[in-house]
Amino acid sequence: MSDFQVRTARAADVRGIQQMLEPYVQRRILLGKDLVVLYEAVQQFVVAEDATGQLIGCGALHVMWEDLGEIRTLIVSDAWLHHGVGRAIVERLEDNARALGLTRLFCLTFEVEFFTRRGFEPIGEQVVDPDVYSQLIRSPDEGVAEFLDLAHVKPNTLGNTRMLKTL
């Protein structure tokens, strides 16, 4: 079961991404995203597909600041867990981050061991300069609020770990 590829997502993949996301939304692990939001963000996504073209995983890279991005919506189908799919998606997103000139990647995750093996470390407070903080706090994006560890963050953040990797 190692015959898969990771590629840039297309608009035609959005419904499949939403289908992969839905079980995690039901279990309150990930927040649901309206279809229109996924279409608007499709350029942030990469997908993994098996030899038949079936989507088996996805992940997104969201730029937060000139040097900072977030890995979001990382999902691997249960049947493909522990077959390198998640690692391959993260590696592709890291390559995309480097191509954009980013030097740090953030994630908010329950999968601490997985991200630790990829070089991420738990973070505390004060991870950006005060002037950058004053700019980021203006963002309406919930991922930025999570990164800054703001009190009003999403309901699914309880128990998650904020992690950061320097590329």
Tell me, letter by letter, the H, E, C secondary structure of the chain: CCCEEEEECCHHHHHHHHHHHHHHHHCCCCCCCCHHHHHHCHHHEEEEEECCCCEEEEEEEEEEECCEEEEEEEEECHHHCCCCHHHHHHHHHHHHHHHCCCCEEEEEECCHHHHHHCCCEECCCCCCCHHHHHHHCCCCCHHHHHHHCCCCCCHHHCCCEEEEEEC
Q: Is the pTM of this model over 0.75?
A: yes
Query: Which carries the bigger pLDDT value, residue 150 or residue 130?
Result: 130
8-54 residue pLDDT tens? 999 999 999 999 999 998 988 887 889 999 999 999 999 999 999 99
pLDDT at 152 over 60: no
